[in-house]
Amino acid sequence: MNLMRRLATIEDEIAKVNPPVTEEELQERQDLYDVLTPAKFSRRLIDSWIEPVMLEYSGQKFPIQMNFCSDPFCKWFGEPQHEYSSLPFKPSRYKIVNSSGKKALACNLDPTKSKGMPVFAGEITTLYSNWGVADEFARLIRNNSVVEVQPDYEFHKGACSL
């Protein structure tokens, strides 16, 4: 027997996004958003671009990390952020720069090379919110899904015991 179907709504958990912060940290962010200036607020959360977000769909977990070098000629192409703590000045693969008024990702020189040889062609990559991208994936999955409706049939009259 074919069951009736309906379009999925936001209440249907087809794809679930696991936020990278706890409920307490989320509440603290909401409280500080009105108190701090935009520059101070963004400086406080500057390292959040490193953390991937988990998207659960069909029983599988997918890590979402959009912030890495997108230049295929760069040594750091597709590599996650890494800090070289063994070196005295603690360099990292990427740094955040301003590009046309927006935050962007720029590659650093390779600190393991003796002469600091360049590893990139000078390209910069736009920073994205991993959490926002995961939410958008979940929304698109939900918009393109249907859910089976289980009708609630009643075959007896209310006064009938069976």
Range of 105's domain?
A: 10-147
The pLDDT value recorded for residue 138 is: 92
The 10 Å CB-count burial string (b at 16+, else e) for 66-78 is bbbbebeebbbee
Q: How many CB atoms lie within 10 A of CB 17?
A: 21
What is the band of 90 on the pLDDT scale with cuts at 50, 70, 90?
low
What is the band of 63 on the pLDDT scale with cuts at 50, 70, 90?
very high
For residue 66, being part of any structural domain is answered with yes
Identify the residue with better confidence: 105 or 64.
Answer: 64
Tens of pLDDT, residue by residue over 9-31, are 888 888 899 888 888 988 988 99
* pTM attached to this predicted model: 0.73
For residue 153, being part of any structural domain is answered with no
Q: How many structural domains does the chain have?
A: 1
For residue 57, being part of any structural domain is answered with yes
